[in-house]
Structure 1
Amino acid sequence: MSQVVIPEVERQAVGKFLRRMLPILVLMLLINQMDRTNVGFVQDELRADVGVSATAYGLGAGLFFIGYALFEVPSNMLLERFGARVWLTRIMITWGAVIVAMCFIHNVWMFYGLRFLLGVAEAGFFPGVLLYFTQWLPDSSRGRASAIFLGGSATAYIVTGPITGALLELDGVGGFAGWRWMFALEGLLSIVVGFIAGFFLVSRIEDARWLTREEKDALRAAVSRDEEARSRAPKVSRLKLIIHPQVALLTTVFFAMALTGYAITFWLPSLVSEIGGLSPFQVGLLSAIPWICAVIAMYTVSHFTDGAPDRRPYLAIALVLSAIGTFLATLGSPWFGLAAITLAAVGGKVAATLFWPMAQSGLDLKVAAPGLAVVNSIGNLGGFVSPTLFGYLKDTTGSTNGGLYTLSTASVLAVIGVALIRRNGGSATGSGTPSVAKGQVATGG
């Protein structure tokens, strides 16, 4: 495949955008991922201080995704109206305010309401950044930006545990519980960074003082060419997309993957704490181990499979590893369980990197872009089902084993679904890269 030749002035403009805008966007994403998942580290504290049962915790953790799904599209429409600087800043400040409010939780209903509001506040952030990229970058440069941005999500899963665990060590300072300090300080950090982002982000190419006139003209012309090409793409109704056989199959596979990804995200600290005798900071450190291994595996496998003509066998292997890991986590000691969950996290993270390029090549071009959006939005509801089901099974059986068996079964069924997905032979590279990035973040792994 021939390389796209990028004019020098356009290359310079893209480089300036990456150097000036991406650092703050990556920081925002890192905090975004930390704030949506930090509740996983205070499950025991919420049960003791507020009376949040395992079922209530799972439901509350999952309600985030209902709010997020309902308001994702309206949020993106408002971003187009008000611009990225105003709207992305608004998103971050409001989700920070909700996180601060969570330090005042005193009953289950407040927990439910604030988790739902957190989803509403965060709605549209990640796809909004991807939309921001389309307004600033041509297709030929957007893949690199998305890959760098995705690094913030990968890093978040590693640093969330140690940071949150360290804040929980403030238990008793000033007469406040450690979990209240954690929500208050992490929420304040979000608000501060949100205001800082308001000074750095630039909504439109023509407003960038750090671009020369030639660079602005070149970048605007390149973006306009891509917008014109996308406008000629055929429109397909959402109903037809939902019942499209390949879209439905891909949605089912992604839903199963999301079940495992979000279950590990929200329940890993609880599983680690079963080791016993650990401080909150030690729980946070150990909780980072599966994600460190998963991120290493993700980048290693993607390096070797980028040129593969068919990613389905590799995806099936990754899902099998995930199934084995979640099953083995029901056996042996808590330390053995941590090793097993690490295997499951590796399988889930690798599966995320393989799924979206494979999904692109498996869909007809006329339904590829809207079809992938449907797969992501509906499949992401696994983020609601998974923690809710996990919590219910823990309360009714007294163990997380039932939830782990469910995840293992879901991964096996996903393997069957992968085997049924046809391969178009289309390219899994190019303008589809943003979709890959979205999938990797959406699975929480």
Structure 2
Amino acid sequence: MDPVEKRAIAKVSLRLVPFLMLCYFVAYLDRVNVGFAALTMNQDIGISATVFGTGAGIFFFSYFVFEVPSNLALERFGARKWIARIMLSWGILSGAMALVQGEYSFYAVRVLLGIAEAGFFPGIIFYLTLWFPAVYRGRIIGWFMAAIPLSSVIGAPVSGMLLGIHGLGGLAGWQWLFILEAAPAIVLAFVVWFYLTDRPADAHWLSPEERAWLQARLDAEVRQKESVHGLSVWQALFNPKVLALSLVYFGAVATNYGTAFWLPQIVKGFGLSNAGVGFVTAIPYLVGTIGMVLWSRHSDARLERKGHTVVAFLLAAAGIAGSTVFDDPTLKMVALSIGALGVFAVLPVFWTLPTAFLSGASAAAGIAVINSIGNLAGFFGPFAMGWLKDLTGSFSAGLLAIAGCAVMGLLIVLALGHDPSLEKAPAVHPAE
């Protein structure tokens, strides 16, 4: 590796990745902490499993509608301003979940939360393409997305314990959970405004030589992509490969959220306390964190994406489906941990597929389309689990349904082509 390249990538990684992980950690925790709140909230406000599943998932409908406009706004106004706006609005609305009093207010706040958060995740994925050459993206996205399982490794025990402060100040434990876990997003909104740098050309914390090398390398990759594909924003929105990848991501998201929103209630069935539920629920996410980081690094080292995505989907389907076979809590958690390993290993490698052929504004649009369509599964997964639980009295049918979504994603990836040469842009030096 060129010494300038080594220094530039190290500095950018150290400055951006830990901070973006922290932001996504807070975002994901605020998105799924409703699963822990449900342990006491559902009874307090009188909602059924179907209503909870609908409300947990309805977030993703408004998220879907506002995703593409939000990501294009980020490309237009810059990450610093737009991500700060997103974090401030979602922090306020996440805290407002403490005010819900029944079915309709529950639905209303979840819809508004989806509008507020739309564009955050695809915006960060697009933002990373502005800073990291393709050969680094698997591991970088892997580290960034490790915030998903880490938010549960750390957040699950914390959420479980927060439920125990029931009655303080006249509020229920689930209300304190929403209020206290919303506060970091509001604080980080102001940090984002002053800390993030929109593009390498503005990075005065890089030396002129490092800044010039990074910009030249990224520009060379953009030219290579455009010489092969050259998609406009509108072409990216309706590109068949983009739409196919949207369905793949639908399968990944369904397996993720279908279990995430309901796992605390599955574990509660083992007869544990709320605090105990938090610690046991963290186990699959810890396994998923390790798998996500190691699998994405392995994918980068081999510069192989398709096979890595397929194998991860296969583990996800096998683990989730296999969990329905066991009544023993230990064996069930082993199976669910295998499923989590697959679910989380899929995510960072998957995102190298669209970013290999999309660039510029078309990347902002295409990534947003994939994420918005895929995240409709955030409604389907929790709703299917709740509806099938009410219908059958068991979580098994719902778990099999979302395992089937992982199989769907696997089959589409097998059918799609992927050109790894687009990720092998030559090192370009500014002096050339």
TM-score (norm 1): 0.81
Deviations along 1:299-332, one digit per CA (max 9) or x if unpaired, are: 4445556538685487257426524533432541
Answering whether residue 292 of structure 2 is matched by residue 279 of structure 1, we say no
Deviations along 1:247-288, one digit per CA (max 9) or x if unpaired, are: 665544442332221111111111011111x23222111111
For residue 178 of structure 2, the aligned residue among 183, 186, 203 is 183
Answering whether residue 31 of structure 2 is matched by residue 30 of structure 1, we say no
Deviations along 1:103-150, one digit per CA (max 9) or x if unpaired, are: 111121111111111111111112222333344455566555434323
| Residue pair 1:271, 1:338 contacting (<8 A) in 2 also | no
In structure 2, the CA distance between the partners of 1:392 and 1:134, relative to structure 1 (3 Å rule), is same
| Residue pair 1:21, 1:200 contacting (<8 A) in 2 also | no
Distance 1:164 1:177 in 2: 13
Q: Secondary structure at the match of 1:42?
A: helix
For residue 302 of structure 2, the aligned residue among 300, 307, 314 is 307
Q: CA deviation at 1:22?
A: 3.0
For residue 282 of structure 2, the aligned residue among 288, 296, 302 is 288
Q: CA deviation at 1:240?
A: 9.2
Distance 1:98 1:151 in 2: 24
Counterpart of 2:387? Answer: 392
Answering whether residue 231 of structure 2 is matched by residue 235 of structure 1, we say yes
Counterpart of 2:254? Answer: 259
| Structure 1 segments unaligned to the other structure (5+ residues) | 432-445
In structure 2, the CA distance between the partners of 1:192 and 1:304, relative to structure 1 (3 Å rule), is closer
Q: CA deviation at 1:174?
A: 2.2
| Residue pair 1:357, 1:429 contacting (<8 A) in 2 also | no
**Matched residue type, 2:85:** R
For residue 152 of structure 1, the aligned residue among 135, 144, 147 is 147
Q: CA deviation at 1:353?
A: 5.1
| Residue pair 1:327, 1:408 contacting (<8 A) in 2 also | no
Deviations along 1:31-55, one digit per CA (max 9) or x if unpaired, are: 1111111111121322111112111
**Matched residue type, 2:111:** F
> Aligned runs of 1:160-175 on 2, under 5 Å?
160-175=155-170
> Aligned runs of 1:343-362 on 2, under 5 Å?
343-352=338-347, 355=350
Answering whether residue 117 of structure 2 is matched by residue 122 of structure 1, we say yes
**Matched residue type, 2:286:** I
**Matched residue type, 2:99:** F
| Structure 2 segments unaligned to the other structure (5+ residues) | 426-432
Q: CA deviation at 1:400?
A: 1.9
In structure 2, the CA distance between the partners of 1:151 and 1:200, relative to structure 1 (3 Å rule), is same
> Aligned runs of 1:23-422 on 2, under 5 Å?
23-139=18-134, 145-205=140-200, 207-232=202-227, 233-235=229-231, 244=240, 250-276=245-271, 278-302=272-296, 306-307=301-302, 311-312=306-307, 315-316=310-311, 318-319=313-314, 322-323=317-318, 325-329=320-324, 331-352=326-347, 355=350, 374-417=369-412, 419=414, 421=415
C-alpha RMSD over aligned residues: 3.5
Distance 1:265 1:66 in 2: 18
**Matched residue type, 2:230:** P
What count of residue pairs does the alignment treat as equivalent?
A: 420
**Matched residue type, 2:332:** G
Distance 1:140 1:426 in 2: 10
Counterpart of 1:437? Answer: none
| Residue pair 1:389, 1:403 contacting (<8 A) in 2 also | yes
Counterpart of 2:429? Answer: none
| Residue pair 1:37, 1:265 contacting (<8 A) in 2 also | yes
Q: CA deviation at 1:81?
A: 3.2
| Residue pair 2:138, 2:349 contacting (<8 A) in 1 also | no
Distance 2:105 2:70 in 1: 24
Distance 1:358 1:150 in 2: 16
TM-score (norm 2): 0.83
Counterpart of 1:438? Answer: none
Distance 1:304 1:134 in 2: 20
Moved more, 222-231 or 331-340: 222-231
Counterpart of 1:435? Answer: none
| Residue pair 2:248, 2:409 contacting (<8 A) in 1 also | yes
Q: Structure 1 vs Structure 2: percent identity of aligned residues?
A: 36
Moved more, 227-236 or 282-291: 227-236
Counterpart of 1:443? Answer: none
| Residue pair 2:143, 2:293 contacting (<8 A) in 1 also | no
In structure 2, the CA distance between the partners of 1:139 and 1:237, relative to structure 1 (3 Å rule), is closer
Q: Secondary structure at the match of 2:262?
A: helix
| Residue pair 2:305, 2:352 contacting (<8 A) in 1 also | no
Distance 1:371 1:194 in 2: 26
Moved more, 234-243 or 77-86: 234-243
Q: Secondary structure at the match of 1:332?
A: coil
Counterpart of 2:15? Answer: 20
